[in-house]
Amino acid sequence: MPPTPLSSQEEEKQVGRMDAQLAKRLLKYAWPYKKLLLLTLFLVLMVPLLDLAGTIIVKEALDGPLKSIIDSGSSDGSSSISGMNFFQDWAQTFEFELDHLSSARSSLFNYCRVYLFILLMFIALRYAQGLMMATIGQKVMRDVRMQIFSHLQRMPLEFFHKNPVGALVTRLTNDVEALNQLFTSGVVTLLADIILLTGISCVLFYNSPDLALVTVSVVPVLLIATFIFRYFARKFYREQRSHLSHLNAFTQESLQGIDTIQLFTRESETRSRFRGINFNYMKAFLKTVLAYSIYFPVIEMVSATALVLIILRGGYLLGSNGIEFGTFFLFWRFLERFLMPIRDMAERYNVLQAAMAASERIFRVLDSEESIRNRPDAKSVDNIKGEIEFDRVTFSYNSKDIVLKNFSAKVKTGESVAIVGATGAGKSTLITLLSRFYDPQEGGIKLDGTDLRDLKKQEFRSRMAVVLQDPFIFSRSILENITLGNPNISREQAIEAAKRVNAHGFIERLPDGYDTHLQERGGTLSVGERQLLSFARALSHDPDLIVLDEATAHVDTETEKLIQEALEVLLKDRTSIVIAHRLSTIQRADRILVLHKGELRESGQHQELLTEKGIYYRLYQLQFLGEAGM
């Protein structure tokens, strides 16, 4: 499968169907942590039960030590005495009751002690569960992220041209984050909710099947209310989201196009357009507010109804001695705990869907394959002599416009070849093919007599240094920009290389010298300094072959002198192919190849070519003589 573009429009699209293959693939990521996962699942099982245990203890206490007192009623009126008289009242208690009461008290203490113990366990296990769950989620995220990134490193250049950088970064960040939700908020919380529901149901039915049935009877109403609410809430939420992205896009566009707005005096129109979008956004929000404003009271009513049902049925059962007071208490307390998970069920489903959609997008990246790969029998490259042969190379990027036509040329070891040509002649494409970012449609390129396609590409690439016109500078330190993290290049070697290509001077002037952290794309450096830095990068890697696309950008005379000297050092005693823009470069070259409209039209030495008065003659006047290039 060729690399497919991942359009950003797809981002909002929710595919999200729970297909088994997807689930299986996702499970693979959790597999390395199966022990931790198992332990977490055990805790997920335990924690809700501990949470419920407290209420059961109170119930037992009410039915145990407090039972006789409750049953005997508060008709003696002592309950009206306020707590301030606690001790006085206690002292007045009858002797014979003392025994009975103190045993009730000590029993009560025991219940409290057990409750406290359970509470401590709850705190510890609840914390452990949360943290372990988060740990698994984070570990899985890290793994997925690494897998995507490593995969991206193997993708061909073409893939990066087709896919916007933003979309790739979104895969690595937001989508992976959404996947995490699948593990933490999705599956596990759902599981915990189910356990909680089952636990409560069991306790309720065990204590009084009769009352339990009455309680459960409100569940369908709640489910219906929730699903109706969810339907609208989701609809409004989407509306709100689309208005929000519209609003943000408009704001951003207006900020970026502020000149155009002001020059065309469109300030008031822009404002009123903004007002319209802003208004729509607010309206969508007001709908959501209304939905919530209605839903919460409805929930309130449902649980009040359940409470009334429990009171009525409970009152009846108490009267006929069907249940104890404690049981009534239990039902009353569990009511809310029982309704909550049902209320949240719809929410969980949404999270799952979003995570599924994200995982599909991630897998689409992971499933895109390398179009240029090493052949299984590709040869290793230790050293290259640097003999290059272009053998009738024909190439086009889109199989429509031919960029190179039947191009043949040979570069001998140690030779310095300059390539000249007008814009669009196909010079840069030659370099691209030489690095094997693409394979030519016809013909082939041989390195030391072997076709590039039969060599391990990383290995031969690392033996040649390519210096591009606009060198890419990473927002890392100067040193890292020179060595590119290569452990075989010591700091001293890097500095030595910088010295030899005249980069040392400006680097020394930077605040932290070689450790100065550069801005994105080398923003703080001048064009010339970026050039010198890229020369240092190339030289420090001590390549066998140098491929150089000379910059056309205008630099001041002093920097120009530094660059010329540096070029001299860089190209000395090496096989080199230079796309020349400097007079000194063509004069020094052993041979000049003139590329015109994708074909090799002239070749030879500077003086010879000049006397031919052909293409080179004109190019020379245009590009080199004036040196006033625009």
Q: Does 62 bind another protein (CB under 8 A)?
A: yes
CB within 8 A of 309, min separation 6: which ones? 214, 215, 217, 218
Any idea what DSSP says for residue 543? Answer: -
Asked if residue 217 binds another protein (CB under 8 A), the reply is no
- Residue from 417, 418, 392, 422 nearest 405 by CA: 392
Residues 375-414 touching another protein, rule: CB under 8 A, are none
Residue type, 361: R
Choose which of 213, 301, 367, 508 interacts with another protein (CB under 8 A): 301
Of 220, 295, 266, 592, nearest in space to 416 by CA: 592
CB-CB contact of 586 with 580 (8 Å):
yes
Q: Please, which residues have CB within 8 angstroms of residue 285's CB and are 6 or more apart in sequence? A: 240
Q: Is 611 an interacting residue with respect to another protein (CB under 8 A)?
A: no
For residue 315, how far is the Cα from the chain centroid?
Answer: 57
Q: Does 61 bind another protein (CB under 8 A)?
A: yes
**Binding residues among 469-528 for another protein as defined by CB under 8 A:** 471-472, 474-475, 484-486, 520-521
Question: Which part of the chain contacts another protein (CB under 8 A), choosing from 16-24, 204-212, 261-269, 384-392?
Answer: 261-269
Part in contact with another protein (CB under 8 A); list of ranges 144-152, 224-232, 399-407, 505-513:
144-152
Task: In angstroms, give the least distance from the CB of 488 to another protein.
Answer: 11
Q: Pick the closest to residue 532 from 502, 499, 512 (CA basis).
A: 502
Q: Is 98 in the site for another protein (CB under 8 A)?
A: no
- Residue ranges of E strands in 400-480: 402-411, 416-420, 442-447, 450-451, 464-467
Q: Name the segment binding another protein (CB under 8 A); options: 16-24, 135-143, 447-455, 504-512.
A: 135-143
φ/ψ (deg, to 5) at 321: 60, 25
Torsion, CA 259, CA 260, CA 262, CA 265, rounded to 10: 170
Region binding another protein by CB under 8 A among candidate stretches 24-32, 37-45, 111-119, 579-587: 111-119
**Interface region with another protein, contact rule CB under 8 A, candidates 59-67, 215-223, 357-365, 603-611:** 59-67
User: Is 481 in a helix, a strand, or coil?
Assistant: helix
- Minimum separation from the CB atom of position 17 to another protein (A): 29
Q: Is 248 near another protein (CB under 8 A)?
A: yes
Q: How far is the CB of 306 from another protein (least distance, A)?
A: 10
User: Which residue among 19, 336, 556, 565 contacts another protein (CB under 8 A)?
Assistant: 336
User: Checking DSSP bridges between strand 442-447 and strand 450-451, what pairing results, if any?
Assistant: antiparallel
For the CB of residue 595, give the shortest distance to another protein in the complex, in Å. 12
200 binds another protein (CB under 8 A): no
Q: How far is the CB of 263 from another protein (least distance, A)?
A: 5
To the nearest whole angstrom, how small is the minimum distance from the Cβ of residue 348 to another protein?
Answer: 17
Per DSSP, the three-state class of 604 is strand
Ranges within 410-449 binding another protein (CB under 8 A):
422, 435, 437
Which candidate, 515, 489, 387, places its Cα nearest to that of 446? 387
Residue from 29, 591, 619, 624 binding another protein (CB under 8 A)? 619
Q: Which residue has the tokens 């310095």?
A: 416
Q: Does 574 bind another protein (CB under 8 A)?
A: no
Within 8 A by CB and 6+ apart from 107, the residues are 61, 64, 65
Site membership for another protein, residue 160 (CB under 8 A):
yes
Segment 162 to 181, residues that bind another protein, using CB under 8 A: 165-166, 168-169, 172-173
